[in-house]
Amino acid sequence: MSDSKSNTGRPRRKNMRAAEREKLIVEEAVRFFAESGFEGQTRELAKRMGISHAVIYRHFDSKDALIERVYDHVYLKRWNPEWEQLILDRDRPLQERLTQFYVAYADRVFDYDWVRIFVSSGLKSYGLTERYLGIIRTKIIEPAALELRESRGGPEALPPSDTPPADEIELFWGLHGAVFYIAIRKYVYNIPLEINVEATVRATVANFFEGALHGTRQANMQAF
């Protein structure tokens, strides 16, 4: 019933509605370009779907148009706007907020397709990664830097400004890099990670706030 082949055993062609076919193509293209890079041929993509590659050009004007759709599907749909509020929630310590954000972020974004397509498009410099990292900067990094400044308080607190100094911003880019590098090792460099990603993210954030000199095992335990 849910089998796409008829009972003759020979795979019978089945015409799909345009919307459904497009969706299938985009989804397969995501995985395909993640594996092969954007040089991957439309013919091979089509073969994986059991269709002629001309079908792709019926539904998409060009290969670039398909890649554009792949971007949409991979990037934009994974950003959770609630994260922007989370960082600013002063009812909870900043460390707790960042821990929750990075755990959720890793859960959403750390997968084969997303990471590889993101890095690939960075190398091709379509300008898309810049735009995406702009979101990270303005919605997470800069607010977090301001929040740290606020939470520290004390005599050294400077008058609040809209953009924190570059070195404090860099501090949080360092945290971001420490976390994201987990995904890079796994999906770009193909290093087999036997670790628990969530636990590692928690430990990374904890260490960011407390420092290695204070001991890691305790930090791991009391994280969050």
Partner DNA sequence: AACATAAATGACCGATTGGTCACTTATCTA
Partner DNA sequence: TAGATAAGTGACCAATCGGTCATTTATGTT
Contacting residues for 108 by C-beta, under 8 A, at least 6 apart: 78, 80
Contact residue for DNA among 1, 8, 39, 154 (CB under 7 A) = 39
Select the binding partner of residue 136 from DNA, a copy of itself, none (C-beta < 5 to 8 A, by kind).
none
Stretch that binds a copy of itself, among 50-58, 69-77, 103-111, 165-173 (CB under 8 A): 165-173
In whole angstroms, what separates CA 47 from the centre of its chain?
28
Contact residue for a copy of itself among 106, 120, 140, 146 (CB under 8 A) = 120
Residue 150 to residue 1: CA distance in whole angstroms: 61
Residue 4 makes contact with DNA by CB under 7 A:
no
In whole angstroms, what separates CA 122 from the centre of its chain?
13
Contact residue for DNA among 35, 37, 47, 54 (CB under 7 A) = 54
> In sequence order, what DSSP letters do the residues of 84-129 get, joined into one string?
HHHHH-TTS-HHHHHHHHHHHHHHHH-SHHHHHHHHHHHHHT-SHH
Q: Quick one: DSSP state of residue 77?
A: G
Residues 21-40 that bind a copy of itself (CB under 8 A): 37, 39
Which residues are at the interface with a copy of itself (CB under 8 A)?
37, 39, 116, 119-120, 122-125, 129-130, 133, 148, 152, 156, 166-168, 170-171, 173-182, 184-185, 188-191, 194-195, 199-200, 203-204, 207-217, 220
